[in-house]
Structure 1
Amino acid sequence: MKAYIIKRFLYMIPTLLGASILIFFLYALTPGDFVDSNSSLTAERKAELKLLYGLDQSIIQRYFTWIGNVFTGDFGFSLQYQQPVSSLLSDYIWNSFIIAFASLILTWVVAIVIGVISATRQYSFFDSAVTLGVFAAMSLPSFFIGLLLIKIFAVDLNLFPAGGMSTTGSNATGFSYILQVLDHMFLPVVVLTMLSVGSLTRYFRTNMLEVVKQDFIRTARAKGLKEKVVIYRHALRNALLPAITLFGFELPALFSGAIVIERVFNWPGVGSIYMQAFTVRDYPLLMGFTMFIAVLTVVSNLLADLLYGAADPRVRVK
């Protein structure tokens, strides 16, 4: 197992280097930048700023300067917010992480429960209703679902706030503040869960249908084990193995998907500053956040591989 972990760590290095090259050159080769797009600056001032921020250097020099700073934890300087990208992301990234992580946990719990029940009751009314609901949730745009839930639960029923992270003008602290945050994050988490749970539910259902037809399940039933023991102890454990590999893509995908949801619900996460950075071409901030997503993807895949290795003895032996 130790050799397997070391091998996976070594794979991360060329992957992140390749991702950094793609990220940097994707933004660097895009016409215009923050200085060029600012029409209020004179030509002399633009030349001064380009010299100050190193934008007058060749693209190769800029890449090596940028990647060298990244290794020290410096993702550049945000031209729009006039502060380091690393400190800017640290101020907002945790707000996004709250709803992304809550949605991840809720998505997996709901997907496992519904997927198992749907597989054990194949072609039943419940299975048909789940299939219809899954495809309906997957086909609707995220902003439409968000606005619809705001209309129903915030405007009509007045059960949850329409947006923000806390009540305007509130000075709540401690447990009261936590309750406020939970109240405000309910609708964004529900929307993210609805968008993610569909495909995962179908995946668990398909895996369960394949596992319950295998010989070891027939043997377990022939031994007289209860159906719940057969399904939840034997079938579900084996059906979870292929799904573990999906874990590496779930959390980064939720961060990316939360960008639109944060705008809809006015959630003070990294999505709001990310969208604003696009409008003014604040490429250091865009590259810093994209690189963060790349690192999160690689780390999540590493964790998924380690979990798979711990769950499947064949991987450890190999």
Structure 2
Amino acid sequence: MRTLFDTVFPYIKYIGNRLLHLLPVVIIISIVIFTLIQLMPGDPILAMINPETTANMTEEQRIAYIETMRKVLGYDKPVIVRYFLWWKDVLTANFGYSVALNKPINEFIGSYIMNSFKVNIVGFIIAFLIAIPIGIKSAVRKNTRYDKIVTVVSMIGISLPSFFMALLLVLLFSAVLRILPFSGMVDPRGVRPEYVYYILPVSVIVLSSLASLIRYIRNAMIEVLKADYIRTSRAKGLAEKVVIYRHAFKNALIPVITIIGFWIPALFGGSIIVEKIFAWPGMGLLMNQAYQFKDRGVLSTVLLFFAVLTLFANLFVDVGYALVDPRIKARRIK
């Protein structure tokens, strides 16, 4: 008789092996990121120093001050030494120093990640809750009027860019109706509740995700409903809801798991377009500001974070495939 350990251990072993294989990939990606950041034009020390600080200094004092800052931050060392020092900072959760915000990165990076996560997780959950029943019903009622309407609306949703949806919602609900705030996350006056600031960015995330998700679920369900075991299940007299939701939908989950894997980086990484339009203090806005100010410390940290998150998303997809498809489990999870 198989115990819980016998069931779980193959997955733990598989995940452990995959993590070992990911290690050299992360190292290669980190070398590429660090090299590209170092090749950026400009002197990071000069960008960091406030001109007012050196305004009353003589030229000799100014040069001495700049060189002192260069030594303190390690920019006087060779590139290869700075690379290992950077990894030391990453492994100790230090992450370096932000030129734009003029403070250590570890003091603010966590809040930006959570701000992106909070708005994206709400949007993605709502999108799934709406898309799953609509996609399933559209597949079951293929080529009916309902299916055609869903298909047309989905194609329109896929065609509209997210920035257009965001600007349209801002124009309608903020400029014309004046019932929702233009941007931000908190009312400085303390009048409006915090949740109203989530409505517009969450709505954009839902609308931009919903159309493609419905199409994925519909197409996957149509393929599964053609399978022989579905016809056999119906021939046995099983209720249609049991056939659809217990048998068909489980086997149609592979494309859905793929989408979830693609969305994992976006959950924590945010959206530059949405966060820029709504001035939402998340990772997308931080990335945009870091690029504008040539903030090397923030850029290298955020890029490495996205890379590692994407690799873990791929691992999640592989394990998810094995959980819902025994054929894939037989090939990969041993």
* Short-chain TM bin: 0.7 to 0.9
| Aligned residue in 1 for 2:4 | none
Find the partner of 1:307 among 309, 320, 323: 320
Task: Give the superposition deviation at 1:66.
Answer: 0.8
Paired with 1:265 and 1:52, the residues of 2 have a C-alpha distance of 37
Paired with 1:192 and 1:33, the residues of 2 have a C-alpha distance of 38
Task: Give the superposition deviation at 1:292.
Answer: 1.7
Verify the 8 A CA contact 1:33 1:282 in the aligned structure 2: no
Verify the 8 A CA contact 1:33 1:283 in the aligned structure 2: no
| Aligned residue in 2 for 1:135 | 155
Task: Give the superposition deviation at 1:245.
Answer: 3.1
Q: Residues 53 and 219 of structure 1: is their aligned pair in 2 closer, same or farther, counting only changes over 3 Å?
A: same
- The answer on 1:166 being equivalent to 2:179 is no
**TM-score, with length taken from structure 1:** 0.87
Task: Give the superposition deviation at 1:186.
Answer: 1.3
Partner amino acid, structure 1, of 2:86: W
| Post-superposition CA distance 1:70-91 (Å, at most 9, x none) | 1222211112222221222013
Q: Residues 187 and 57 of structure 1: is their aligned pair in 2 closer, same or farther, counting only changes over 3 Å?
A: same
**TM-score, with length taken from structure 2:** 0.83
| Aligned residue in 1 for 2:201 | 188
Find the partner of 2:23 among 13, 31, 39: 13
Q: Residues 35 and 153 of structure 1: is their aligned pair in 2 closer, same or farther, counting only changes over 3 Å?
A: same
SS state of the match for residue 108, structure 2? helix
| Aligned residue in 1 for 2:6 | none
- The answer on 1:80 being equivalent to 2:90 is no
List aligned pairs for 1:285-304, cutoff 5 A: 285-304=298-317
List aligned pairs for 1:113-262, cutoff 5 A: 113-170=133-190, 180-256=193-269, 258-262=271-275
Task: Give the superposition deviation at 1:217.
Answer: 0.4
Task: Give the superposition deviation at 1:237.
Answer: 0.7
| Aligned residue in 1 for 2:89 | 69
- The answer on 1:51 being equivalent to 2:67 is no
Q: Residues 241 and 156 of structure 1: is their aligned pair in 2 closer, same or farther, counting only changes over 3 Å?
A: same
Larger of the two Rg values belongs to structure: 2
| Aligned residue in 2 for 1:106 | 126
Verify the 8 A CA contact 2:116 2:270 in the aligned structure 1: no
Paired with 2:151 and 2:76, the residues of 1 have a C-alpha distance of 56
Paired with 1:88 and 1:257, the residues of 2 have a C-alpha distance of 16
Paired with 1:110 and 1:34, the residues of 2 have a C-alpha distance of 47
Q: Percent identity?
A: 40
| Post-superposition CA distance 1:192-215 (Å, at most 9, x none) | 122222222222111111100000
Partner amino acid, structure 2, of 1:121: R
| Post-superposition CA distance 1:56-78 (Å, at most 9, x none) | 33322221221222122221111
Bigger Cα displacement from structure 2, 191-200 vs 27-36: 27-36
Q: Residues 197 and 171 of structure 1: is their aligned pair in 2 closer, same or farther, counting only changes over 3 Å?
A: closer
User: What stretches of structure 2 of length at least 5 have no aligned partner?
Assistant: 1-9
Q: Residues 35 and 143 of structure 1: is their aligned pair in 2 closer, same or farther, counting only changes over 3 Å?
A: farther
Find the partner of 1:28 among 33, 38, 56: 38
| Aligned residue in 2 for 1:177 | none
Q: Residues 116 and 150 of structure 1: is their aligned pair in 2 closer, same or farther, counting only changes over 3 Å?
A: same
Paired with 1:98 and 1:255, the residues of 2 have a C-alpha distance of 9
List aligned pairs for 1:246-285, cutoff 5 A: 246-256=259-269, 258-285=271-298
| Post-superposition CA distance 1:132-155 (Å, at most 9, x none) | 322322333322211110111223
Bigger Cα displacement from structure 2, 124-133 vs 98-107: 124-133
Q: Larger relative contact order (C-alpha < 8 A, sep ≥ 6)?
A: 1
Paired with 1:102 and 1:18, the residues of 2 have a C-alpha distance of 34
User: What stretches of structure 1 of length at least 5 have no aligned partner?
Assistant: 173-179
Task: Give the superposition deviation at 1:255.
Answer: 4.6
Verify the 8 A CA contact 2:134 2:214 in the aligned structure 1: yes
Alpha-carbon RMSD = 2.5
